[in-house]
Amino acid sequence: MDFDFNVQKIEEAYRHELLSYLNQLFTGVNLPSHDISHHERVWRYCRSLLLEINRFGLDVPADLVENAIVACYFHDTGLTINLGESHGALGAEICSRYLQQKPNFTSFRNKEILTAIEFHDDKSIRTEENGDALSMLNLTRLVSTADDLDAFGTIGVFRYIEIYLKRAVAANELPGRVLTNLQNRYSNFKSAYALLEKFVDRQECRYYQTFNFFTRLATEVTLGVGSANGPYGVYRVIKNNLVEKGQSIEDVIDYVNENPISEYAQSFFNVLKVELNINSTVS
C-alpha cells in the first residue's frame, strides 16, 4: 500500500483524539509560541521528514509513524506546567497518562515515545554528525528535528521573542541567546538529515530569515539605535502586545495593520500571517 496513504490513515486515526486531549491541557494557558498550533506544525514537519525518508529508500514502519504523531503532539505539553528546561520531562509524565489508555502501545514503544518527549530539546545528544541512513529513523531525532524546523522563518522569530521574554531574558541578551540556539538547531538538522539534500536546501532560506533578523536586532540593540522601522520595532510590538497585554498573535497582526507602526513591521506581520495560514492547513 502507498506509504503516503498509510501516513494519512494513521493521522486520521489519531489526530482528532490528540487534539481533544491537548485542548484540555492548554485550557487557560496563554503561550502562542508553543500552543496547540505549534504541536500541529511540528507533526507536519515530522510527517514531511518521514515521507522524505521513505522516498530516499528506507522502510518506515507503521509503528514509528504512530509513535511519532503521539510524541509530536505531546512534546511541549510540559510548558503548561513550567516554562523552563524541565518541560521535556514534564511532558513525558503527561504523555504517560495518555499512553496508559492505549493497550496497543507496548512498554517498549511507550519508552521510546517518552524518551523522545523528554529529550526533544536536549541539543547535547544530537550534535555529532552521523551519516548512517538508519539513524534518520530514530524517534528522538525525528521529533527534535521537527521541533527545530518550527524555529525557522518568520514564525520562528515571533516564537523565539515570546518564549525568551517569558523566560525573563533581557533585551540586550536576547539576540545573542537566540542566535546561539538557532545555529545549534540548524547544525543538528543538517547533520542528522544531510542525506535528504533537497529537503535540507528547502529549509535553508527559512533558517536565514530568522538568522538575519536576529543578527540585525543584535546590532540595533548593541548600538542603541533600535527604531520602529526594523527588527527592534517588531520586538517592541511582540513585547508590548503579545507578552505584556496577553493578546493573541492574530490580534497583534490586526493591531499592526490597523495602527501602522512602520513599513518594516507591517511587512513582517503580514508575512507572519501568511506563514501561519499556510501552516494551519493540513496537507
**Three-class DSSP labels, 254-268:** HHHHHCCCCHHHHHH
pLDDT tens digits, the chain, 283 residues: what are they? 588 889 999 999 999 999 999 999 999 999 999 999 999 999 999 999 999 999 999 999 999 999 999 999 999 999 999 888 789 899 999 999 999 988 777 787 899 999 999 999 876 555 455 568 999 999 999 999 999 999 999 999 999 999 999 999 999 999 999 999 999 999 999 999 999 999 999 999 999 999 999 999 999 998 877 777 899 999 999 999 999 999 999 999 999 999 888 999 999 999 999 999 865 543 3
My answer on whether 155 and 24 are in the same domain is: no
| Overall domain count for the chain | 2
Q: How far apart are CA 84 and CA 275, in angstroms?
A: 27
The rounded distance, in Å, linking the Cα atoms of 283 and 269 is 24
DSSP 87: H
Residues in the chain: 283
Q: How many Å apart are CA 210 and CA 192, to the nearest integer?
A: 20
200 shares its domain with 223:
yes
CA dihedral of residues 156, 26, 281, 275 (deg, nearest 10): -20
Shared domain for 132 and 187, answered yes or no, is no
On whether the CB atoms of residues 95 and 70 are closer than 8 A, the answer is yes
User: In Å, what is the CA distance from 237 to each residue of 96, 114, 166, 241, 282?
Assistant: 38, 37, 15, 6, 29
Helices (H), the chain: 3-25, 36-56, 62-74, 87-99, 107-118, 139-149, 153-166, 174-192, 197-223, 231-237, 249-258, 263-279
pTM score of the predicted model: 0.92
CATH number of the CATH domain containing 74: 1.10.3210.10
The last residue of a domain, from among 86, 116, 148: 148
